[in-house]
Structure 1
C-alpha cells in the first residue's frame, strides 16, 4: 500500500503537484523565452565576430600592389579560402563554388569596401567584400586599380557549444527550481495537513465515544477556527449525551423501582384471581364475566411486571447465564407442551441437538417467538430446528401477512408494535426485545425475513455458549 503522502487524491500530494506545475509553467516559459533570446544573441554575436574578422582581413589589402592578377600572385596576398572574382572572371576558387553565389549577393559587391553576409545554417555564414588592388603590370599607369570580389564561407565559431552550455544551465536551474518548489510545497502542505490529521484523529475518537477529546486552538487562523468549532461541537454533544444518559438511567431506575413495587400487590392479587377463576361457574353471568376480565388482566399485568424486571436485570448487566448441557429438541418440545401448543404448532427437528445453554432463557426465547407468531401471524405455525457448524438454528415460520421491510429491525425494540401490519397486539411489546437480549447473552443472533410469502424468525445459537 502506498504511503499517504504519495496518494494522488491526498491534499499534500495535490499541493506539491500544484507548486511544481506552477514552477514548470512560469519558470519553463521564462527559460524558453530566455533561451530563444539568448540563442539569437549568440548567433548575432558570432556573426558579428566573423564579419569583423573578415572585414579586418580585407581592409588591410585594399590598394595592395600586385604584379599581375594571376592566381599565384593573388594567393600570396589573399587568404587561400577566398573565392576571387575580377571583371566577372573567377581568378581563384576557395571555399565557395562561384556557381552557388546568389546573383543578388554578387551584385551587392560592386562597390569597394562594402561587406555582405548571409547565414547559411546554424554553423556557417557566407561573407563577401570587394577591395581594389593595384596591378603594377598594367600598361596604363594612371588607371591600374582593379576591383576584386572576395567571397568565402566561415564557421560561426562556438555557437553550438555556447548554446549547449546555455541549455545545460537552464535545465539545471529549472530542475533546481522544481526541487525547491516541491520541497516548499511539501512543507506548506504539511503545515496544513498535520492539523487536519489531528482533527481527523480527534473526530474518530469522538465517534468511538470519547467526548472528552479537545484540540489546541492554534495555528493558521482558518484551521484554528475549524478547531474551535469542532471543540464547541464535541462539548455540546457531550453535554447532550450526558443528559440523555442521565435521563435513560433515571427511566431505568424508575422502571426497576416500579416493577419491584408492583410485585408485592401482585403477589396478593394472583391468589385472588385464581380463587375468582375457580368460582366463575358459581357466579351470576355478569359477575362471572367481570371475574374473567379481572383474572385475565391480573395475568397480563403479572407477565408485564416479570418482563420489566427481567429487562431491568439486562440493563443493569446483572443478567447471568446458568449453563447446562441441554438437548435443544427436547427443550423445545417441553416449551410447546407447557403452553398447550403441541397440537397447534408443528415441530420439524432431528432426533437431538446437543447444546450448552441456559434452558430457562432459551425457553423464554422460543415461547416469545412462537407466541408472537400465533398472535400476529396465521396458521400453520412451524418450528424448525437444525444444526450448522458451531451453531444450532431455531426458525419459527408463520403464514401471516408479513412484516414491512422498514419494520423488520424496529420490531426488536422495546414496546414497538406493528399494529397496522399484523393486527391488534395483546402483548406488552417487550417479548422480542427480551428474546434479543437473551440470545445476545448467549453470543448468538436473531433476525426476521420474508421467505416465499412466509414470515421467518431465525435464531443462530452457538452450540457451546460461554458464561456471560
Structure 2
C-alpha cells in the first residue's frame, strides 16, 4: 500500500505544472472558471428557489381560494355529498375528510400525508410539503376549513382538504436555468484563457527580461542591464539586480586592474632584475671557483650565496615565464619528439636516473615543444622526489598510431610516487600560483610556481595536467595530443624560447 501511495505521489508530482507561465495560466483559468461557475450556479439556485416558492405560493393560494369560495355553502356537520362537492371544487388529486367521512378520487394523496395532516391539526393552518411521486416532483397541500363566528373568531370546522399539485413545469424551468449556468461557465473558459494569457504576458515579461540579463551577466557581459517598468515589486527587483550588476562590474574591473598591475609589476621587476642578476651570477661563480681556498666559515657563506643567487635567478626566470603566459605571448616550437626518450633525457640532465624508473613500451612519438616538455617533466618528477617517497615511477604511453611517427590520439605521461599523497585541502589548489600546502615551510626550495607553469605548458600544447591520490601515494597525469599543431595557429617553429630548463624543476606545493 505504501508503494502505491508513493507511485501516486510521483505521478501527481509529474503532472504538476512546472513552468511559471503554465502555473499562472492554470491558476488564473481555474480561479476565473470556478468563480464564473460558482456565480452561475448561485444565480441558478436562487432563481430556482424563487420559482419553486412562487409556484408553491400560487398553487396554495388557488386551492385556498377555491375552498374559501365553497365553504360558506356547506352544511355543518357536512355529509358525504358536501365533501364530494368540496373535492370537485378543489380539483383532481384531492382528498377531503371529516371525522370518519372521506371523499377522494383515484389519484388522491395516500399514506404520505401523515406529516402534513399532523401539522394541519396541530396548527389549524395551511401546511405544504414537497414530495416525489413516481419520479416527478409534487407539492402536497393540506389545509383546514375554518368557520367564522359573528364576532369574527375563527374555529376549525373539522373538515380537512389535502391535494397534490404537479411541479414538473417548475422543474423544467429550473433545468433550463441549470443548463444556462453550465453554458455560461463554458463560455467563461475561453475568455479566462485569453485574460490569463494577457495577464501572464504582462507579469512574465519583466521576469524574462531579468532572466536574459542574468544570462548575459553569467556569460561575462557585465554591462547587461534591465530597464525597470512601473513601480511594483518586479520593478524594485529589477532595480536591485541592476545595482548588483553595477557593483559586480565595478568590483571585477577593479580586480582586473589590480591583476594587470600585479602582472605588469612582476614582468617589469623580472626584466629589471635580469641584468644585475647576470652580473651577480658571474660574481658568485667566481667566488664558487675560489671557495676551496677559503676558510671553512667563508666557504660556507660563499656556498650559501651561490645557492640563494641561483634560486633567485630561477625565480626571476619563472616570473618572466608566467608573465608570458599572462600576456599571451608564449608559443610553441613544435618538433617530432619521442616522449619516452625526452623523459630519459630530462632525468639524465638532472642526475635522477638512479632515483626514478621509466616505463615505456617503446618509442612514443608526438609533436611537442621539447623545451617546454622538459620543463613539465622536470617539475613533476622534482615534486615527487621532494615531497613523495621512493620509488618514483614515470609511465609513458600513447594511443592512436604508435611508433616513432606522430598520428592521432594522445600521449599520456604519469608520474607517481609512494609518499603520503596530497592532503584533501591541498588537492584543489595544487596548481595555484605561489601555493604551498604547509605555510610553516616557507623556505622550501622553489617559488610555488613550478606546477602552475607545468599546467600552463600542458594547456599550451592543447593538453591537460591533473593531480590525484592513489592507494600508494600521489600521481600526476599529463595528457598531450600527438599533433597539437593541427589545432593551432603558427604551426611548427612558431614562438620564442622563454623560460628555462636548466634546474631540477620546482614542484614546491607541499603535501
Return the alpha-carbon distance in structure 2 between the equivalents of residues 100 and 370 of structure 1.
108
TM value normalised by structure 2: 0.75
Backbone CA RMSD of aligned residues: 3.9
Aligned with 2:425: secondary structure?
helix
Structure-1 separation of matches of 2:308 and 2:112:
127
Task: Decide whether the 8 Å contact of 1:332 with 1:363 is kept in 2.
Answer: yes
Equivalent residue, structure 1, for 2:501: none
Aligned partner of 1:124 in structure 2 is 138
Alignment of 1:211 onto 2:222: yes
1:309-324 equivalence runs, <5 A: 309-324=320-335
Structure 1: how far apart are the matches of 2:384 and 2:442? Answer: 12
Q: Which of 388-397 and 425-434 deviates more?
A: 388-397
Q: Distance in 2 between matches of 1:422 and 1:463?
A: 39
Find out whether 1:266 has 2:283 as its counterpart. no
TM-score (norm 1): 0.81
- Equivalent of residue 365 in structure 2, options 340, 354, 367: 354
Candidates 464, 467, 483, aligned match of 1:448: 467
Q: 5 Å matches for 1:289-300?
A: 289-300=300-311
Deviates more, 1:439-448 or 1:245-254: 245-254
Does 2:38 correspond to 1:38? no
Q: Secondary structure at the match of 1:123?
A: strand
Segment of structure 1 superposing worse, 224-233 or 92-101: 92-101
Q: CA deviation at 1:82?
A: 4.4
Q: Call closer, same or farther: CA 1:420–1:310 in 2, change over 3 Å.
A: closer
Q: 1:209 offset after TM fit, Å?
A: 1.8
What secondary structure is seen at the aligned counterpart in 1 of 2:447? coil
Partner of residue 179 from structure 2, selected from 168, 172, 192 = 168
Structure 2 residue 475 is matched with structure 1 residue 463: no
Cα deviation for residue 370 of structure 1 reads 0.6
**Structure 2 counterparts to residues 51-90 of structure 1, below 5 A:** 51-55=60-64, 63=73, 69=81, 81-83=93-95, 88-90=100-102
Give the CA deviation at 1:202: 1.1
Cα deviation for residue 395 of structure 1 reads: 1.5
Find the counterpart in structure 1 of residue 313 from structure 2: 302
Name the structure 2 match of 1:198.
Answer: 209
Aligned match of 1:431 in 450, 472, 476?
A: 450
Deviation at 1:314, TM superposition (A): 0.8
**For residue 114 of structure 2, what is the aligned residue in structure 1?**
102
User: Which residue number in structure 1 is paired with residue 500 of structure 2?
Assistant: none
Partner of 2:260: 249
For 1:203, what is the secondary structure of its paired residue? helix
Change (3 A) 1:276 1:75: closer
Cα distance in 2, alignment partners of residues 456 and 195 from structure 1: 51
Partner in structure 1 of residue 154 of structure 2: none
Call closer, same or farther: CA 1:383–1:34 in 2, change over 3 Å.
Answer: same
Q: How far 1:258 sits from its partner (Å)?
A: 2.1
- The match for 2:291 is 280
Q: CA separation of 1:290/1:100 partners in 2, compared to 1, >3 Å: closer, same or farther?
A: closer
Alpha-carbon offset, residue 343 of structure 1: 0.5
CA shift, 1:323, in A, is: 1.9
Alpha-carbon spacing, 1:126–1:75, altered in 2? closer, same or farther (3 Å): closer
Give 2:504's aligned residue.
none
Q: Deviations over 1:383-405 (max 9, x none)?
A: 12233563322221123333221
Aligned length: 449
Q: Does 405-414 or 176-185 show the bigger shift?
A: 176-185
Mapped contact 1:376–1:423 kept (Cα < 8 A): no
| C-alpha deviation, 1:357, in angstroms | 1.9
Deviation at 1:298, TM superposition (A): 2.7
User: Does structure 2 conserve the Cα–Cα contact (< 8 Å) formed by 1:95 and 1:152?
Assistant: no
Q: Is the 8 A contact 2:109 2:163 kept in 1?
A: no
The 8 Å contact of residues 394 and 458 in structure 1, kept in 2 or not, is answered as yes
Could you tell me how far 1:167 is from its partner in structure 2?
1.9
Kindly tell me: are residues 404 and 424 of structure 1, through their superposed partners in 2, closer, same or farther at Cα, counting changes over 3 Å?
Answer: farther
Equivalence for 1:231: 242
SS at match of 2:277: helix
CA distance in 2, matches of 1:99, 1:252: 108
